[in-house]
Amino acid sequence: MIIGVGIDVAEIDRFGAALERTPELARRLFIEAELVLPSGERRGTASLAARFAAKEAVAKALGAPGGLHWTDAEVYVEDSGQPRLRVRGTVAARAAELGVRAWHISLSHDAGVASAVVVAEG
């Protein structure tokens, strides 16, 4: 059963400008593993914008309650290239309240826009 669906878009240049303007913003939105590739190289702005859109979509799928922490929803990619979601803390607690047992996530970025769709399944 589908408990919630969330979708969000982020303008890549605007998101990048926000990160430049507010250097501590990246640490408030992402955990280290989301900021850095396995090679040690910093993740690109388009990829971060897609991850930010996914976090917004997660909140929407959960009914957009207040009090969720950005870093309690982690977007990672399996070796196959499939994006996945790992939740903890405030996000995991809200998901448990609603009976979420599985997450489905899709990320994309093209033509200056990053997008994400998240489905919360019970």
Count of structural domains within the chain = 1
Asked if 49 and 12 count as a contact pair (C-beta separation under 8 A), the reply is yes
Asked if 111 and 101 count as a contact pair (C-beta separation under 8 A), the reply is no
pTM for the full predicted model: 0.94
According to DSSP, the residues that pair with 83 across neighbouring strands are 77
Phi, psi of 102 (to 5 degrees): -150, 155
Please report, for the domain that includes residue 85, its CATH number: 3.90.470.20
Q: What is the pLDDT of residue 38?
A: 82
Q: Give the three-class secondary structure for 119.
A: strand
Which residue type is seen at 110? D
Residue-wise pLDDT tens digits, 2-56: 999 999 999 999 999 999 999 899 999 999 999 998 888 999 999 999 999 999 9
18: domain range?
Answer: 2-121
